[in-house]
Amino acid sequence: MERIILLKLGEIALKGLNRRSFEEKLMSNIRRRISAFGNFNLRSAQSTVYIRCTAGEEDAIDRAFEACKDIFGIVSLSLAAECEKNYDSIRETALAFLGDSLSFAQSFKVDAKRSDKRFPMNSPEIMRTLGGDILSKYPHLEVDVHNPEMTVTVEVRDFAAYVHGEKVPGAGGMPVGSAGRGTLLLSGGIDSPVAAWMMGKRGLEMIAVHFESPPYTSQRAREKVLTLAGKLTRYTGRMRVFVVPFTEAQLAIRDNCPEDLFTLIMRRMMMECACRLSEKYDSHAIITGESLGQVASQTLGAIGVTEALATLPVLRPLIGMDKEEIVQISRKIDTYETSILPYEDCCTVFTPKHPRLRPRMADLEEAEARLNKDALIEACLAGVTEYEPLYD
């Protein structure tokens, strides 16, 4: 009996004339994600992607199924058995494919969907007849249409009939890459990986920019960030990470600017660097992990003076979330334990004791006039190192 994967599309099904382009992007993402497990044939029809393994290890279809759980654009997925479109074949397939599960269940129901109206039995007839045959073979079962322990689903479609058990929730959202490309400001903390996951769910492909300040930050701190990026590729697909040396800029800020403005001037310069890199790599937005009021640099005034230098839209998906909500998502996407590793972050280097909470633009511009800012930014960008971490 051949097992296949059925992937149900989410928001894509609501798209109009450009729906096909979204489906093609999703199919490309699926192929890339499961290619390591074997050779697969993919087909999209009736808001469903059908995946069949043509060559690979015995567990290839199971590994592909697990990988598909994290692909944005899929609302639910099922491991199914394909059979001919006649009732006898449907009954035999259901009893054979789901027999073990039915043996251990206490209650069940049958759900049927008939998109091929030429099939002689309608959906209620399929449900009633198959339910009776299942009860005949497994008399210990009880029918519970409201809260069954197991649901047996039959889908009669144009190509064949499909039998499967419970649907597994998918990642939802839109296919990565369908909304363009953004630049993630990736620190090493809890927030920015969650911001990346949330924007990936909205279809945004990403590059990442990380600022480091050796010797004040270590090689371990860099490796931590690359590990986080690798974990994110499980959801976002390939992500190029640009590590920017920021020591010279930070020393210049320390030596020439008022201490209470250190962090804000540093963040403004980071924003300029990120925007220039974005222009070079065809990225059209900046993504940050800022949450309003979480720290001094994330007050409304501080956000305003930082964004003033941005030449691209700045997306802040966490802006209205509290820390516990962010932590819950970071645990869900498996970045939390890496994020809390105690390695230095350049944002904590030369942190002022009393940062300015209500900064004035005039004060910042006066302080920045003491710097050769263009030269410092050029030096940062000249030293960029590029990485492409992969999900393990």
Residues 145 and 278 reside in one and the same domain: no
pLDDT of residue 30: 97
pLDDT at residue 336 is higher than 70: yes
Characterize 77-101 residue by residue with b for buried, 16 or more Cβ atoms within 10 angstroms of its Cβ, and e for exposed. bbbbbbbebebeebbebbbebbeee
pLDDT of residue 125: 97
Confidence (pTM): 0.92
pLDDT in tens, 170-200: 999 999 999 999 999 999 999 999 999 999 9
pLDDT in tens, 273-330: 999 999 999 999 999 999 998 888 888 999 999 999 999 999 999 999 999 999 999 9
Residues 265 and 360 reside in one and the same domain: yes
Residues 229 and 137 reside in one and the same domain: no
- Looking at residue 73, its amino acid is G
Residues 212 and 337 reside in one and the same domain: yes
Residues 22 and 163 reside in one and the same domain: yes
Does residue 312 belong to any structural domain of this protein? Answer: yes
Distance between CA atoms of 2 and 332, rounded to whole angstroms? 32
Residues 32 and 13 reside in one and the same domain: yes
Comparing CA positions, the residue from 108, 42, 32, 40 lying closest to residue 70 is 32
Q: pLDDT category, 10, cuts 50, 70, 90? A: confident
Do residues 264 and 297 make contact, with C-beta atoms less than 8 angstroms apart? yes
Bridge partner residues of 47 (DSSP): none
Distance between CA atoms of 50 and 235, rounded to whole angstroms? 20
Residues 278 and 210 reside in one and the same domain: yes
Does residue 297 belong to any structural domain of this protein? Answer: yes
Residues 63 and 34 reside in one and the same domain: yes
For residue 189, the SS3 value is: coil
Comparing CA positions, the residue from 217, 226, 249 lying closest to residue 346 is 217
Distance between CA atoms of 19 and 332, rounded to whole angstroms? 30
Does residue 176 belong to any structural domain of this protein? Answer: no
Residues 222 and 80 reside in one and the same domain: no
pLDDT at residue 1 is higher than 80: no
Out of 165-169, 231-235, 281-285, 388-392, pick the least confident. 388-392
Q: pLDDT category, 392, cuts 50, 70, 90? A: low
Q: Which domain, by its residues, includes 162?
A: 3-171
Bridge partner residues of 212 (DSSP): 245
Residues 188 and 288 reside in one and the same domain: yes
Q: pLDDT category, 346, cuts 50, 70, 90? A: confident
pLDDT of residue 348: 78
Q: Where are the beta strands (DSSP E) in 326-387?
A: 385-387
